[in-house]
């Protein structure tokens, strides 16, 4: 198969496996989604979903959260890891959203990425999942599978994002990035598949002899 043929198969098969693409992070609005994504860095979605109800009990809007002491935020989000850095980011981004954006989460990449703790991947998640803007956030699962399926050479997350955007229809990006994540968690895991085990790896590379660990 060519790279484009592999991409077409992945797109089609994942749509069959995951016709619905629920957002893994529990949230009520763009603000709660943004904070949840910030907390999810180097942390599982399950853990974030366990922690955020306690955080929303302190405040569930930017103006309210900006008034909560950083130490209190840190205490609540400690199970998510990196709590000193994340608590400061949550506090400061809440203040800036309240002061500069009228309490509403920005709707552009530039404005989102200007907020503390918000990199391109986080901004891409919010743009795609909160606002429906086509984006292709690349997490560790997507980066690993794109290289494993030879959709990208895996030199960098940035390169993987560029490659995937060229291969897949823009209208599919928002659902497809979630489908790849779901598949990477359930079937083509870092330890459970070495590039020769799961259905998609076997289909794309039936003659593959050398195992892949990343």
Residue 121 a catalytic site member: yes
Angle at 93 between CA 61 and CA 117, to 5 degrees: 130
Q: What pLDDT digit, counting tens, does each position of 48-57 carry? A: 999 999 999 9
The pLDDT assigned to 211 comes to 75
Residue 194 a catalytic site member: no
Sign of CA dihedral 7, 3, 193, 134: negative
- Short-list 125, 98, 100, CA closest to 111: 100
CATH of 30-129, one of 1.20.1260.10, 3.30.9.10, 1.10.340.30, 1.10.630.10: 1.10.340.30
Tokens of 114: 């200007």
The domain locations on the chain are 3-21+136-204, 30-129
> Which entry of 11, 26, 45, 139 is annotated as an active-site residue?
139
Burial class (CB in 10 A: 0-12, 13-18, 19+), 200: buried
> Which entry of 86, 121, 147, 163 is annotated as an active-site residue?
121
Residue 10 CA to residue 149 CA, distance in Å, equals: 9
- Short-list 43, 104, 28, 34, CA closest to 77: 43
Q: What pLDDT digit, counting tens, does each position of 3-56 carry? A: 999 999 999 999 999 999 999 999 999 999 999 999 999 999 999 999 999 999
Residue 64 CA to residue 50 CA, distance in Å, equals: 21
In this prediction, what percent of the chain has a pLDDT beyond 70? 99
Q: Across residues 164-191, what is the average pLDDT?
A: 96
Q: Which are the contacts of 43, defined by CB distance < 8 A and separation ≥ 6?
A: 80, 81, 82
Q: Across residues 133-154, what is the average pLDDT?
A: 94
Name the architecture of domain 3-21+136-204.
Orthogonal Bundle (1.10)
């Amino acid at each position: 198969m060519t790279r484009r043929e592999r991409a077409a198969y992945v797109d089609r098969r994942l749509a069959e496996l995951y016709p619905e693409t629920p957002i893994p992070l529990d949230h009520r609005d763009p603000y709660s989604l943004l904070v949840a994504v910030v907390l999810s860095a180097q942390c599982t979605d399950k853990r974030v979903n366990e922690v955020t109800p306690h955080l929303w009990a302190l405040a569930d809007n930017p103006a309210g959260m900006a008034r909560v002491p950083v130490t209190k935020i840190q205490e609540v989000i400690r199970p998510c890891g990196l709590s000193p850095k994340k608590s400061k980011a949550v506090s400061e981004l809440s203040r800036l959203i309240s002061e500069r954006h009228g309490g509403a989460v920005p709707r552009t990449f530039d404005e989102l990425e200007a907020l503390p703790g918000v990199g391109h991947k986080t901004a891409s998640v919010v743009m795609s999942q909160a606002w429906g803007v086509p984006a292709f956030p690349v997490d560790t699962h997507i980066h690993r599978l794109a290289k494993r399926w030879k959709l990208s050479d895996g030199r960098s997350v940035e390169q993987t994002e560029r490659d995937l955007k060229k291969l897949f229809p823009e209208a599919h990006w928002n659902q497809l990035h979630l489908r790849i994540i779901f598949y990477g968690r359930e079937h083509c895991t870092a330890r459970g598949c070495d590039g020769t085990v799961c259905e998609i790896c076997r289909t794309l590379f039936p003659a593959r002899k050398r195992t892949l660990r990343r």
